[in-house]
Amino acid sequence: MLIRRELPADVPGVHSVHAAAFARSETAGQRSVEARLVEELRACDAWMPELSLVATATDGAVVGHVVCSRASVGSSPALGLGPLGVLPAFQRTGVGHALMHAVLGAADALGEPLVVLLGHSDYYPLFGFRLAEEYGITPPVPEWRPNFQVRTLTTYNAAMRGQFTYAKPFHDL
């Protein structure tokens, strides 16, 4: 497996990953919410190509994808992570872990202060995520609190507090 930045030729593979990984959210003839979200993020000004990463198998096929997009905490720039998807045949083989470590390392290397996500409270703490409320960061939807998490990076400043705002495509879901 190789983790690298997404290339234009990877777009169909990225779509296939999210469509398959989140198939339970698909209905007849419609794209999955996650696949549509990636497409809409790619088309907006919050897209950060250096933080759209793919995992490829030895034959070059895209088997996983993760993306962070520009977001904010109050008036401070931050990152929103998601979606993270892995083809079902490659789930539980370390692809998701590798993508998470790679995207967090890339975000840190870019000087980003923190990454925020809405995700499983048993999985994401493996990567250093903690409840956002511990940092004074509030989710856009109060009911998300138990699963709304933050991973601080090297340039994090404790003064970053307040309401988290995702990129516009997240609001259109």
Tell me the per-residue pLDDT of 150-165, one tens digit each, with 9 for 90 and over: 999 999 999 999 999 9
Residue 25 has pLDDT above 50, yes or no: no
Residue 34 has pLDDT above 80, yes or no: yes
Mean pLDDT of the region 14-18: 97
Domain range for 109? 2-171
pLDDT above 90 covers a percentage of the chain that reads 92
Of residues 27 and 68, the one with the higher pLDDT is 68
26 falls in which pLDDT band (50, 70, 90)?
A: very low
- CA gap 134, 25 in Å, rounded: 31
Q: Is the peptide bond before 49 cis (omega within 30 degrees of 0)?
A: no
CA distances 157 to 111, 136, 154, 161, Å, are 12, 12, 9, 9
pTM of the model: 0.94
> What CATH number is given to the structural domain containing 9?
3.40.630.30
Residue 75, SS3 per DSSP: coil
- CA gap 85, 35 in Å, rounded: 9
Residue 28 has pLDDT above 90, yes or no: no
Please, which residues bridge with residue 148 across strands?
Answer: 118
54 falls in which pLDDT band (50, 70, 90)?
A: very high
Q: How many domains are contained in the chain? A: 1
Residue 31 has pLDDT above 80, yes or no: no
Tell me the per-residue pLDDT of 129-152, one tens digit each, with 9 for 90 and over: 999 999 999 999 999 999 999 999
Residue 121 has pLDDT above 80, yes or no: yes
